[in-house]
Structure 1
């Protein structure tokens, strides 16, 4: 919706609707190729057809909007991963499902996950995405417990794997002409999680 179309007022009891629209507008701005700097109160307000000061009822500033965007993205990522995890009981398949889902989501929404740099400065009880990372650590540990991995430190090996996934998510779009080998994700997972 743009400002020219106007925006209908929320009905009584629908105050959260504007908050959702603010977060959605900021997400769209990031997804369209704008960096964090393109998410301004004016840009968000213009997109949903409100006056910028109306945002202050829901968010103190732009960084709080970005924090909400990143939190929602990681919540969606966690839901997608848990859906994939439910499809198998085999530890190695579950680990690969996490990595495949994470990479797919990161390639689709890297700018949004990357907005976490600003969001990380916000005071929150737990770092954003820590619960998703915990799923990765547990999956590496489950592989080690099942004798499918030589990992002696699930946290360290999951960290290496997480770094590798982020690198791949950033390099693939940045280097589309590079002759990416088939199965590069599988190689990455096998080596960094020390799967046998």
Structure 2
């Protein structure tokens, strides 16, 4: 049997594949529109399934967007780790990681906003599905860990005055996130040259 878009029904045991297809469909809607474009009906249509089929895998729209955020953070972590594995000293690798972070935010603005709760309510999701609490607590920690490692490497190399890489990486993440959001929201603002380097150098406490 096929759906209205000609998609064949998943065979028995292919539920995990359908779940991934639902998440991929929601991600495409985000990439091509806004958070408001992600509705259960729109996701079902994009995935080529009927809306009731979603409920076998997700309790509601927020649960889908949480899964989108999980996939997005995993993708972001992969990109940051790839950037950190490049050649160069610790400072160059830190800057590469930060540049990769901003590039992700610029290339996928809808997806990026969803990572930080746009269009989905974490407390509401946990209230409805309590077993999601542990997943929400871990959301983004892998990507953050790459920043911590990069700052720690700079400190170990004597290129950063950081005494607490985790705390300084958190400050750096705040700076990068703020810049990513403001650069989109205030695109006409005359952003000064070298602002990226200033954010990284100051918040990571880099030194000669």
Q: TM-score, normalised by structure 2?
A: 0.84
Tell me, yes or no, if the aligned pair for 1:74 and 1:129 is still in contact at 8 Å: yes
Tell me, yes or no, if the aligned pair for 2:30 and 2:37 is still in contact at 8 Å: yes
Report the counterpart of residue 89 of structure 2 in structure 1.
90
Aligned length: 193
Distance in 2 (alpha carbons) for counterparts of 1:16 and 1:141: 38
Report Cα offsets for 1:68-126 as digits up to 9, x if no partner.
10111111111111112221362112211211111111122233232232364342244
Distance in 1 (alpha carbons) for counterparts of 2:138 and 2:16: 24
Alignment of 1:30-41 (within 5 A): 30-35=30-35, 37-41=36-40
Distance in 2 (alpha carbons) for counterparts of 1:185 and 1:141: 20
RMSD: 1.9
Q: TM-score, normalised by structure 1?
A: 0.88
How far does residue 190 in structure 1 lie from its aligned partner after superposition? Answer: 0.6
Q: Say if 1:120 and 1:141 are closer, same or farther in 2 by CA, change over 3 A.
A: farther
Report the counterpart of residue 69 of structure 1 in structure 2.
68
Gap runs ≥5 in structure 2: 127-132
Tell me, yes or no, if the aligned pair for 1:106 and 1:169 is still in contact at 8 Å: yes
Q: Identify the range of structure 1 (23-32 vs 108-117) with the bigger mean alpha-carbon deviation.
A: 108-117
Report the counterpart of residue 124 of structure 1 in structure 2.
134
How far does residue 23 in structure 1 lie from its aligned partner after superposition? Answer: 0.6
- Secondary structure at the residue paired with 2:65? helix
Report the counterpart of residue 181 of structure 1 in structure 2.
192
